[in-house]
A and B are shown apart, each in its own frame.
Chain A
Amino acid sequence: MNNYYVWIAVAVIALITAMLRFLPFVVFNGNKKTPAIIEKLSKVLPYAVMGMLVVYCLKDTSFESVSGFLPQLIACMVVGVLYVWKRNTLISIVTGTVCYMIMVQMVF
């Protein structure tokens, strides 16, 4: 494998990722007034994006067998119930993750 190729490929990935991260800030720079539609989007996007990220994380869930979805379902319920009850991020995440690990390693 060509050594140059690897480093150039890494540079390409780094540049494109950075470009995607910087683009909105460059296009809607401080001096001009941010268009109303973008301002509106920026207020509501976080709510929609979090839903998208949760679905993205669970995209490999499969309903063909019990072990394909039950650990995720139970662990998500543990996280959800604990969070609504205690409102403590750390407790919910740690308990949910430990439950999930026990289920995928020992039960299913």
Chain B
Amino acid sequence: MLKKALTDTLPVMTGYLVLGFGFGIIMKTDGFGVLLTLAMSLFIYAGSVQYVAVGMLAGGAPLLVVGITTLVMNARHLFYGISMIDKYKNMGKCKPYLIFALTDETYSLVCNDDATIQKKDRKGYYLWVSLFNHMYWITGSLLGAVIGSVVKFNSEGIDFALTALFLTVFLEQWLSTKKHIPAIIGTGASLLCLLIFGRDNFLIPTMLVIAVSLCLYKEGVRHE
């Protein structure tokens, strides 16, 4: 399971090392210490909000604004939780960590029923995937904060690795089922809300549209 988790998380490693590195650099540029960078990547562990937080912290944004921004940007995690309730049911002692470490990328790896993993191996697999991803993110941020200004590698565009990861998961899901309505609802709602609400505000309306549409969607119900 260790080996499979390592192979499966390689795309995340690329993305997290680079994005974490970028986060470390801007933290350093804005005058924050390595300890704060470490604390954020260890305890917040949510990429997009950490990026936005740097600007808010540097500008001294009111705590209420910080809180609401976090709430809005990370509300999508509610969805991940809802779809993992059953899978994470009997995870024992590592359950709290698995829940804490459920990022977009970890979710994209654990949300599918991978037929190559036996039921008894699931727990180990989920745990290794979560741990590896968390380590990549922390390592990337620390490297950025410590040696960020020394490295001269032009990494522009490397963050596309995460887009590509989500796209392959999307395609795998698409190819593995005949019921395409949920995928179409998700993509369609996102595009529609992006057009209406713009790139900074479309996630929450998208989530509402998805939740309502999927509740009305009948075919997904199992008949027992």
Contacts and interface: CB of A to CB of B under 8 A. Distances in A.
Nearest to B199: A59
B57 A9 contact: yes
B150 to A, nearest CB: 20
A37 interface: yes
Interface of B: 7-8, 10-11, 14, 32, 36, 39-40, 43-46, 49-50, 53, 56-58, 60-61, 63, 66-67, 70-71, 74-86, 88-89, 95-96, 99-100, 102, 104, 107-108, 111-112, 154-158, 160-173, 175, 177, 182-191, 194, 199, 202-203, 206-207, 210-211, 214-215, 217, 220-222
Given A23-B78, A25-B81, A75 B86 contact: no
B57 A49 contact: no
Interface in A42-66: 42-60
B40 A51 contact: no
A50 B108 contact: yes
26 contacts: A1-B58, A9-B63, A12-B67, A13-B44, A14-B44, A16-B74, A17-B49, A21-B102, A24-B78, A41-B82, A43-B222, A49-B79, A51-B185, A51-B187, A52-B210, A55-B190, A59-B194, A59-B199, A79-B167, A83-B171, A90-B7, A93-B164, A96-B160, A97-B157, A105-B154, A105-B156
Given A13-B50, A84-B171, 16 more contacts: A9-B57, A13-B70, A21-B100, A25-B85, A34-B86, A45-B83, A45-B210, A46-B111, A50-B186, A51-B188, A52-B203, A52-B210, A54-B163, A56-B203, A72-B160, A97-B158
A17 B74 contact: yes
Contacts of B222: 43
Interface of A is mostly: helix
A105 B158 CA distance: 10
Contact of B183 (A23, A36, A43, A51): A51
Contact of A12 (B66, B74, B75, B207): B66
Contacts, number: 251
Given A17-B44, A22-B81, A45-B214, A51 B164 contact: no
A6 to B, nearest CB: 5
A2 B184 CA distance: 48
B70 A101 contact: no
Given A48-B185, A54-B166, A38 B82 contact: yes
Interface string A8-30: 11101110111011111100101
A44 to B, nearest CB: 4
A24 B70 contact: no
B138 to A, nearest CB: 14
Contacts of B67: 12-13, 16
A52 B44 contact: no
